[in-house]
């Protein structure tokens, strides 16, 4: 079996990941449906943009 242990070069800290996400931006999309007895009561569509204000201002499509 191959060994899947990470080398020191491949190790990425949580701080580095957060820095990359804030510099590049990320979009999270999801749907939530609440229903009782096969009757849909509430539909919630979610769209979340995770980025820094500086990155958002650089992008033309986002107005902050």
For residue 57, CA distances in Å to 15, 29, 52 come to: 22, 21, 9
Distance of CA 55 to the CA centre of its chain: 15
Classify residue 47: in a domain, yes or no.
Answer: yes
pLDDT exceeds 90 at position 61: no
Q: How many independent structural domains does the chain possess? A: 1
Q: How far is residue 10's CA from residue 19's CA, in Å, rounded to a whole number?
A: 16
Per-residue pLDDT tens over the stretch 11-46: 778 888 888 888 888 888 999 999 999 888 999 998
Classify residue 19: in a domain, yes or no.
Answer: yes
Whose CA is closest to 51, among 30, 20, 29?
20
- pLDDT grade for 49, boundaries at 50, 70 and 90: confident
Q: What is the per-residue burial (b if ≥16 Cβ within 10 Å, else e) of 35-46?
A: eeeeeeeeeeee
Classify residue 7: in a domain, yes or no.
Answer: no
């Amino acid at each position: 079996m191959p060994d899947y242990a990470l080398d020191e070069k491949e190790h990425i800290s949580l701080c580095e990941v957060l820095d990359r996400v804030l510099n590049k931006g990320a979009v999270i999309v999801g749907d939530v449906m609440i229903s009782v007895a096969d009757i849909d009561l509430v539909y919630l569509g979610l769209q979340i943009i995770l980025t820094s204000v500086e990155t958002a201002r650089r992008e033309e499509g986002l107005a902050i």
